[in-house]
Amino acid sequence: MQVKNIIKVALRSIMKSRMRSLLTALGIIIGVAAVVVMVAIGDGAQKQVEDQISSLGSNLIVITPGASASGGVNRGMGSFNRFTFDDVQKIKDEATLITGVTPIVRSGGQVIGGIGNWFTQIQGVSPDYLEIRSWKLKSGEFFTERDVLARSKVCVLGSEVAKNLFPDDDPIGQQIRIRNVPFKIIGVLSEKGQTSVGTSNDDIILAPSRTVHERLSGGRFISSIQVSAVSPAQIPKAKEELRKIMREAHKLTQGEEDDFTIQDQADLATAATETSKILTILLGSVAGVSLIVGGIGIMNIMLVSVTERTREIGIRLSIGARSSDILIQFLTEAVVLSLAGGILGVSLSFGVSYLLNNYTSQAANIQPEIIFLAFSFAGAIGIFFGFYPARKASKLNPIDALRYE
């Protein structure tokens, strides 16, 4: 029997019972769509993270307290907060390969002003911050070194905060109270978009580091120091220099481990993409399970259909079909169903990712490889789960099959 004829016979069978065929393929449709969409979401998230990190500023170096994970006893990242303004000053005075340095003093709380109140985070930074983070002001001005030293109660609003507290009028020159301390607004930041974890970068208030340190964070230590290198090429040298300065500042003797971690963007990117890769794998494998469930659905329906079509098989055998013809027919039916399911599933996933990209903040990025992968997986599932029922059909005895009621 020619291949053309086998496919013809199988397609006729599928078209004869459209509803059953559709339901059979549905498992595969959903499975393939789930795999493609899940992986696309993971991929999209990964891309967002990468974009995010590059938006931080390409020369950014971040120093965080605590040892890095390499070697010896690990005290844990950030568990031992030992940065002081002296450290920052020392970097500023001694480092030659940097264009700016800022401490990050974190605080947060309820902010009252404008049309109501808003809960947000407050970061105490130096005037270098904007340059380090390659961020721009939308309006107004940023505070100066003098404001830092004078502990001036001035602040710059992130666009999200400005939008929420001052939806209609210009916030510049107005007063807000952060945890009951009055601050004067002198500037508004331009929009920056989402962070890698999905929160808004723009939901922030910046204020002079020493002001936040003393007035808001209650004299706690600096949570991190951010530095910008003179150029991306100089980052490794700058890191080495910073390490020397920090070791000196912390009076570490030779042999003692660093009590801080210096990371540049590449390090951050690796860590972050690693996380989202795991996410992708996790999502993909959950969806993969549904694809296998879809395959079992095909097997189930095919088994039922072999019983239901026993007489048909008998007729085919009696008019000269070989058992291999029957085997191939049923196998073809299973494979055609799962491939059709694959095609519909991929189309469905394009629809879903279009919706995600256009109507939600979740980015989905469908890669050609994953389509190919899901598609061939669907085909393989068709063969794998179709084989047993097909074999069962081909083993039927023509006499018994013809008599079957």
Partner 1 sequence: MARNIIRTSGLSKTYVIGEVEVHALRKVDINIDQGEFVAIMGASGSGKSTLMNLIGCLDKPTSGEYYIDGQDTSKFSPNQYASIRNQKIGFVFQGFNLLSRTTALENVELPLLYDRTHGIKDPVEKAKKALERIGLGDRMHHIPSQLSGGQQQRVAIARALVNEPALILADEPTGNLDSRTSVEVFSVFQELNEEGITIILVTHERDFALFAKRIIELRDGKVTKDFAIKNRLDAKEELKKLKEDSVLQGQED
Q: Which tokens go with 223?
A: 């949570």
CA gap 125, 100 in Å, rounded:
12
174 lies in the binding site for partner 1 (CB under 8 A): no
Write the single-letter amino acid at 33: A
Of 156, 178, 159, give the one whose Cα is nearest residue 167.
159
Alpha carbon 229 to its chain centroid, in Å, reads 28
What is the token pair recorded at 68? 């890095």
Site string for partner 1, 294-313 (x = CB under 8 A): -----------------xx-
Please report how the helices 3-16 and 18-55 are oriented relative to each other, as an axis angle in degrees rounded to 10: 100
Contact 381, 292 (CB under 8 A): yes
Alpha carbons within 13 A on the beta-carbon side of 13: 24
Please identify which residue in 8, 92, 151, 177 interacts with partner 1, judged by CB under 8 A: 8
Binding segment toward partner 1, per CB under 8 A, in 12-20, 40-48, 127-135, 359-367: 12-20
Six token digits for residue 293: 């469930």
> What's the min distance (Å) between Cβ of 327 and partner 1?
12
Asked whether position 325 contacts partner 1 by CB under 8 A, the answer is yes
Q: How far is the CB of 300 from partner 1 (least distance, A)?
A: 22
Are the beta carbons of 132 and 102 closer than 8 angstroms? yes
Q: Is 395 a binder of partner 1 (CB under 8 A)?
A: no
Of the two residues 20 and 163, which places its CB atom closer to partner 1 in the complex? 20
Q: Out of 169, 319, 358, 368, point to the residue binding partner 1 (CB under 8 A).
A: 319
Site string for partner 1, 254-293 (x = CB under 8 A): ----------------------------------------
Q: Is 73 in the site for partner 1 (CB under 8 A)?
A: no
- Residue type (1 letter), 99: T
Closest approach, Cβ 36 to partner 1, in A, equals 34
Query: In this structure, what token pair is assigned to residue 249?
Result: 């500042």
Q: What is the pattern of x (binds partner 1, CB under 8 A) and - over residues 341-380?
A: ----------------------------------------
**Measured distance CA(123)–CA(105) in Å, rounded:** 5
Which of 320, 358, 359, 368 binds partner 1 (CB under 8 A)? It is 320
When the beta carbons of 172 and 315 are compared against partner 1, the nearer one is 315
Please choose, out of 3-11, 45-53, 242-250, 276-284, the segment that lies near partner 1 by the rule CB under 8 A: 3-11
Of 10-18, 23-31, 261-269, 290-298, the segment contacting partner 1 by CB under 8 A is 10-18
Q: Is the dihedral of CA 368, 373, 376, 378 positive or negative?
A: negative
Nearest-approach distance from CB 1 to partner 1, in angstroms:
6
Q: Is the alpha carbon torsion for 228, 234, 239, 244 positive or negative?
A: negative
Q: How far is the CB of 316 from partner 1 (least distance, A)?
A: 7
Q: Tokens representing 88?
A: 């920052």
User: Binding of partner 1 at residue 84 (CB under 8 A)?
Assistant: no
Give the footprint of partner 1 on residues 16-35 (CB under 8 A). 16-17
Bridge partners of 207, per DSSP, are 124
**b/e sequence 333-357, b meaning 16+ C-beta within 10 Å:** bbbbbbbbbbbbbbebbbebbeebb
Q: Determine if 398 is a binding residue for partner 1 (CB under 8 A).
A: yes
Q: Are 151 and 216 in contact (CB under 8 A)?
A: no
Q: How far apart are CA 124 and CA 103, in angstroms?
A: 7
Instruction: Count residues near partner 1 (CB under 8 A).
Output: 25
Stretch that binds partner 1, among 190-198, 254-262, 323-331, 383-391 (CB under 8 A): 323-331
Q: Which of 79, 270, 285, 324 binds partner 1 (CB under 8 A)?
A: 324
Q: Is 402 one of the binding residues for partner 1 (CB under 8 A)?
A: yes
Distance CA 123, CA 103 (A): 9
| Minimum CB distance to partner 1 smaller for 265 or for 310 | 310
- 147: closest CA among 211, 219, 218? 211
Within positions 48 to 67, which residues make up the interface with partner 1, using CB under 8 A?
A: none
Residues that bind partner 1 (CB under 8 A): 1-2, 5, 8-9, 12, 16-17, 311-312, 314-325, 398-399, 402
